[in-house]
A and B are shown apart, each in its own frame.
Chain A
Amino acid sequence: KNEVEQSPQNLTAQEGEFITINCSYSVGISALHWLQQHPGGGIVSLFMLSSGKKKHGRLIATINIQEKHSSLHITASHPRDSAVYICAVMGGSEKLVFGKGTKLTVNP
């Protein structure tokens, strides 16, 4: 079992829909990252969380430390949100452990 599990693996939505991507982890962590990867490979860091909730524009990330679970929400989704969204956790060793990613496609 991977230390970081994401669901769903693939997600297709219509423009304007509310999107939720889930991440569960099995180890103690000091921080959790949500990353966005576009075709071609470049990765952009969206959020780093250690507790609670963060919001940036249409993106919201939450984390429940007790349940070892985090969610990334996208409100009013747009085709430009199409990308792979990756959850990564940092444990005591300061190395990031990544999930396999969720491929999001938003159709116009």
Chain B
Amino acid sequence: DAGVTQSPTHLIKTRGQHVTLRCSPISGHKSVSWYQQVLGQGPQFIFQYYEKEERGRGNFPDRFSARQFPNYSSELNVNALLLGDSALYLCASRTTGGTDTQYFGPGTRLTVL
């Protein structure tokens, strides 16, 4: 079975631009979470979606938004990119919205110039 997949793997943008990152969960997983990992730090929680509804939001500005589609895939959108948005963006899926093990994707490395 395929694991969690993310696209693209790498992305370079300039300040002020918009970016969309995509995540496909493991088949049968209905919960998707997004994390931002700045170089040298642990990941920080951005969003959790379960059954297409937002279940949690981290301490990120409104420039960050996400959604989950009927097939449980998800998009993370970031508007008006700042240099500080440069990071590895990780997606994780799990069966339910509870305390199940989360399975992480390989991440999308975003560089903002």
Measuring CB to CB, which residues of chain A are less than 8 angstroms from any residue of chain B? 4, 30-31, 33, 35, 40-45, 48, 50, 86, 88, 90, 93-101
A50 to B98 alpha-carbon distance, docked (Å)? 13
Q: CB-CB < 8 A to A95: which residues of B?
A: 33, 45, 48, 56, 58
B88 within 8 A of A: yes
- Chain B residues 20-49 with CB under 8 Å of chain A are 33, 35, 37, 40-45, 48
Assess whether A42 is in contact with B44, with CB atoms less than 8 Å apart.
Answer: no
A99 to B43 alpha-carbon distance, docked (Å)? 8
**Closest Cβ–Cβ distance, residue B6 to chain A (whole Å):** 10
Q: Which residue from chain A places its CB closest to the CB of B44 in the assembled complex?
A: A98
Extra contacts, 6 of them, besides A33-B102, A101-B42 (Cβ < 8 A), are A41-B109, A43-B90, A45-B104, A95-B58, A96-B33, A98-B43
Assess whether B42 is in contact with A100, with CB atoms less than 8 Å apart.
Answer: yes
A45 to B41 alpha-carbon distance, docked (Å)? 17
Q: CB-CB < 8 A to A40: which residues of B?
A: 106
A98 to B99 alpha-carbon distance, docked (Å)? 15
A96 to B97 alpha-carbon distance, docked (Å)? 12
Q: Which residue from chain B places its CB closest to the CB of A42 in the assembled complex?
A: B106
**Closest Cβ–Cβ distance, residue A15 to chain B (whole Å):** 26
Q: Do A41 and B45 contact each other (CB < 8 Å), given the known contacts A48-B101, A94-B56, A95-B33?
A: no
Q: CB-CB < 8 A to B98: which residues of A?
A: 94
